[in-house]
Amino acid sequence: MTERSKSIFFDDKDHELLEIVNGVIAQGETINVPGGAFYDHFHPNGIMEMAESRGLRLAHAVVILLQSLEVGGLEDRLRALRYLRVAVYSMSVGPMPQNTARVLLQITKELVRAQGDYQRQLELARDFRMTATGKPRKVRQQLRKYHLLEMPEEWNQIAFDDHVHDSSTKGRKTPTHLIMDAWIKGIRRLRIIQYNYVEPRAAAELMEAGKIMGMDVRIGIEYAAKFRDKYIYLIWRPRGFADVQSFLCFLAEPEIADFLARGKKVAQYQKEHVLEVLDNFNSKHIPALEKTLGIRMTPLGHRDFLEFVGSAQVSLLHLARFVHMNLLPLMQKRTEALSQEYAEAGDSRKQVIEALVEEMDRLDMEAIYQQHLEPTANPCLADSQQVCKIGDVPELLTLTPSELVHRLDRLHRDYRLTLNLSNLEAVDVLELLYDCEGLITRLEIFNLKDFDKGQTHHTAGINELQRALNADNPIKLKKVINKIINAVQASDKPDKEDLLAKLDAILHDLESYNAMYSGRPLKPRIGSDSTGLSPYVHGMGLVIRETLPDRMQKHLKHDRDPIRVTIPLRMEVWKRTTFAPPHGANLPLRLIRKIPGLHRIGCLKVNDWVVQQNTVRTMDPGNIVTLGGLPKTRKNGLSLNPPEKKPTKRPSLGYLSTPLLNFLKVFIGFIPAFLTFFLTKDWWLLAYFGALIWFSITGFRNIVQSVLGGGGLKRSPFLKWNDFVSWDRITDSLLFTGFSVPLLDYLVKTLLMDRTLGLNTTTNPLALYAVMGLVNGIYISGHNILRGLPQAAATGNFFRSILSIPVAFFLNFLVGMILGSLGVQGIDQIQQKWAAIISKTASDSVAGIIEGTADRLVNMRTGLRDYAGKMRSFMGVYTQLQVLLPEVPADDILNSPALFARKPKSEIEDLQKLLIMHSLDMLYFWDYLPRGRDALRSLLSNLSREEYQMLLHSLEVLEQQKLVSQLFIDGLVGKNFAKALAFYLNRSGPYLKSMRMLEFSMLGELGV
């Protein structure tokens, strides 16, 4: 018997998901994706469900993303990202779809990365399935586990990072990976910094990935300019581009291309400097390391290093990684040898060995950079941060800031220019802003990497200057300039006299200086400068605390998150609420909205935040929180006594198999219910079967609620009643309803109402049922809050129990009438015994209607989301056809297939294939989506006649059965196409007939 069949933990679905994921990983570079190059156009809830499981497609997408590290995988990465985003959103149910989607994507990444640790993968597989249920408690648990902050479901948080790096420069992640991870963290605005030039391919990937994830992605190019005896850095961000293509056309313009080519010469110059550092490391630092550490290290070659860097711009950070990668195995081997020597050594020798191992353990990438690669460690080489006055220096590195910004200004008028403040003081910024004549429009007022290294002492003075300029107040500006002059006079700067003369000139030109930023504020930029490599700095992302949900604000305010910091900067934000008038409101609604105070009825309410840029100021504590944390360990993990391999831990009870876990839930809930009836009732029916009756009411209510929400009597013939039922939700209800029996039947009905207050079904039935309904409402709301359900759900369940009071009173009256008509004696005693069950029946009857309606709305909302996505896809193909056939009237494009013959066959075949794929998904929605038919009718009612006819003509591609069947055989949905093909052949005809009938009825309603 296998371990899988023996274990009481995990489910077959968990094992199946792992077999899928590990099977995909095993394919390596020969991954066969269902749907081929167009797989990302299939909807996760569509026809592909019949051919390949969603787990398989998710695994394909994540593996492609995580394995395609080279630029050559750009299209694959973008397709994978596009599919992943739609997939995780389509799986995200419940009241927290945004946060659920973030967690699902994070778990999927971890699942792929945990290959080789089967139990860890099983736990992740279960976490994935449990999170996909959308239960808030589960989602928040996973958010905490992965150190992710909960974001508002409106997705209106001010979360950003104005300075990050991808693999095109010195970052670890490819553009697509970077965007995906930023979205998981909750970032909505990201600025990626390139050095000296930008590759069109990298720019296209960044912008397209940002578009896919709905993120505001901006690309800045950083240039160095000589300022006194050092280089300062300016970030140029050209703007004003409608889409990716327009930006790529801009990069291809002759003047821009020439300027970027000059930037490539700077990159080549810096590359040569890094190679010189590598040579110096080989000649001077390797012998020193060999002597100190007792190792033998082969000199590192240029070719191996450049292959390691790949397509990125060579930097000292890459060299530090490369050196560490080669040095670590040698140190590990040396530690193993020292471990044997340590056991036989004397005390003095043991101390020497311990010190040596500790030194090797501290020699991580950051230590290698500081001790062996920085300019101070290589005094014989030129400092790349200092202006070099000899040698063949590229022309761009000879420009002053003024010359550089004016050249950039001539290249493109619409741009933003940010001054990087690293290693600058207030006096430097004052001079640079003046020399550049107001062309510098942004200040990187805070750099998280500098902050982590304790290099932000200059921030307060620069912020004071910035605020003085933005105040448009010459008196305030003069005061700040005089303060800077006094600081210079008190300093020992070598060029103090020259600097004071320059400051005096600025002071005498105060009016023009103030006018440079009059009406055009000098705005702040705040970034992490993250590369994803250094263990000593926080990762990317920052968020303004006030834009987070209340529970997160309380969590952060009380310092309950040790991995995050609140940076000493404050930025004011104002909440803005917009009410959009309803589109196409009917006459009753228009009349209601005319009543004073009701003018917002039916309006779409949108909340967002407005950042007050001019209010940014240094303040401790501030209100900007880091989204990334610091790793727990920063060392190499070397030790004389390496920790023994820990035995495999038994999974926690939360990973029990689902049937067993559900049984335990029901059993635990059944115990208090049964004991209450058994110990307090003298009638055998209630004593032995009261708990079963109670549980039956709860179970039946949940089933009716699910069926009503999913489709009711009008559901698709392909969907059975139990397809809608969530047995997990039923068992949760049974667990909590069991504890309500002693509360309602014994404590409230018997002890409080009857024995203490003398109120029962005979003396005052209305009061009895009112109190029981009130207590039941409090109990339900309480466990709703305990389970992490939204406040609205808890409140709704409280009031639905209140609404059940008259229903319970009516049922009590009805039972009395029926028993009386049957001549039963002791009706009052019978009613009193059954009072709790009557109250329970009333409460669940009301709940079944209300929650069933709520489930219907959720399913309708999900269906509308899926249909709306497909409608956008159809419109996208239709737009491409109009571009392809500009001479054909829009109404005739889909009615004139013969016109396509004049165009390239490949283009027409691709568009036709897309139409078929989208139409097959729509067909599947119609028959298999809960409330799918109702959702489609609702969507169509909001379409114009032209849009509807466009959709219908597009769907008519399904009539080409020979063509569609051949596509299935050729692998449209993969190898397992038989079920999907049979479904298409059987259902496409009736589906098109139904669509035409819908069109006829709609036109009839419109009087056409």
Angle formed by the axes of helices 905-928 and 932-941, to 10°? 120
529: left (phi over 0), alpha (psi -120 to 50) or beta: left
Please state, as a whole number, how many other Cβ atoms lie within 10 Å of the Cβ of residue 498: 11
pTM equals 0.85
Where do the domains of the chain lie? Answer: 1-146, 262-377, 473-516, 573-611, 656-857, 885-1005
Q: Is residue 671 scored above 50 in pLDDT?
A: yes
| 135-161 tens-digit pLDDT | 888 899 999 999 999 999 999 999 999
Of 631 and 702, the structure prediction assigns the larger pLDDT to: 702
Please state, as a whole number, how many other Cβ atoms lie within 10 Å of the Cβ of residue 265: 17
Please state, as a whole number, how many other Cβ atoms lie within 10 Å of the Cβ of residue 746: 18
- The pLDDT, as a whole number, for residue 1008 is 44
pLDDT-based confidence at residue 887 (cuts at 50, 70, 90): low
Q: How far apart are CA 380 and CA 366, in angstroms?
A: 21
Q: How far apart are CA 299 and CA 274, in angstroms?
A: 15
Nearest CA among 823, 808, 819, 820 for reference residue 765 = 808
Tokens 């004016």 belong to residue: 406
Q: Is residue 1006 scored above 50 in pLDDT?
A: no
Mean pLDDT of the chain: 82
Q: Is residue 336 scored above 70 in pLDDT?
A: yes
Please state, as a whole number, how many other Cβ atoms lie within 10 Å of the Cβ of residue 341: 12
- Least trusted range by pLDDT, from 504-508, 767-771, 884-888: 884-888
Average pLDDT estimate for 800-812: 78
Residues above pLDDT 70, as percent of the chain? 87
C-alpha distance from residue 381 to each of 276, 317, 319 (Å): 8, 17, 16
User: How is residue 414 written in tokens?
Assistant: 């619409």
Rounded to the nearest 10°, the torsion over CA 307, 308, 312, 318 is -140
Q: Is residue 947 scored above 70 in pLDDT?
A: yes
- The pLDDT, as a whole number, for residue 593 is 73
| 406-444 tens-digit pLDDT | 999 999 989 999 999 988 999 999 999 999 999 999 999
The residue length of the chain stands at 1008
Give the amino acid at 864: L
- Least trusted range by pLDDT, from 22-26, 212-216, 562-566, 937-941: 22-26
- The pLDDT, as a whole number, for residue 970 is 80
Q: Is residue 798 scored above 90 in pLDDT?
A: no
Contact 537, 448 (CB under 8 A): yes
- The pLDDT, as a whole number, for residue 70 is 45
Q: How far apart are CA 979 and CA 998, in angstroms?
A: 27
Residues sharing a CB contact under 8 Å with residue 113, sequence separation 6 or more, in sequence order: 66
- The pLDDT, as a whole number, for residue 883 is 73
Largest CA distance in the chain: 115
- Least trusted range by pLDDT, from 165-169, 187-191, 665-669, 830-834: 830-834
- The pLDDT, as a whole number, for residue 215 is 93
Q: Is residue 559 scored above 80 in pLDDT?
A: no
- The pLDDT, as a whole number, for residue 5 is 46
- The pLDDT, as a whole number, for residue 6 is 54
Average pLDDT estimate for 902-910: 62
- Least trusted range by pLDDT, from 145-149, 317-321, 759-763: 759-763
Q: How far apart are CA 435 and CA 429, in angstroms?
A: 10
3-state secondary structure of 585: coil
- The pLDDT, as a whole number, for residue 1 is 36
Q: How far apart are CA 566 and CA 573, in angstroms?
A: 16
Of 346 and 468, the structure prediction assigns the larger pLDDT to: 468
pLDDT-based confidence at residue 445 (cuts at 50, 70, 90): very high
Residues sharing a CB contact under 8 Å with residue 633, sequence separation 6 or more, in sequence order: 535
Average pLDDT estimate for 820-824: 77
Give the amino acid at 837: I
Average pLDDT estimate for 533-537: 76
- The pLDDT, as a whole number, for residue 1002 is 57
C-alpha distance from residue 770 to each of 205, 809, 843, 907 (Å): 63, 9, 11, 70
Nearest CA among 511, 504, 533, 525 for reference residue 427 = 504
Tokens 């000593």 belong to residue: 536
Q: Is residue 590 scored above 60 in pLDDT?
A: yes
| 712-736 tens-digit pLDDT | 555 556 666 556 667 777 888 888 8
Q: Residue 358 burial (CB < 10 Å; 0-12/13-18/19+)?
A: middle
Cα 228 to the chain's mean position, in Å? 44
| 372-395 tens-digit pLDDT | 998 888 888 877 667 765 568 899
Nearest CA among 303, 316, 284 for reference residue 384 = 316
Q: How far apart are CA 193 and CA 211, in angstroms?
A: 18
Q: How far apart are CA 384 and CA 833, in angstroms?
A: 89
Q: Is residue 867 scored above 60 in pLDDT?
A: yes
- The pLDDT, as a whole number, for residue 69 is 44
| 61-86 tens-digit pLDDT | 666 666 654 444 677 788 778 877 87
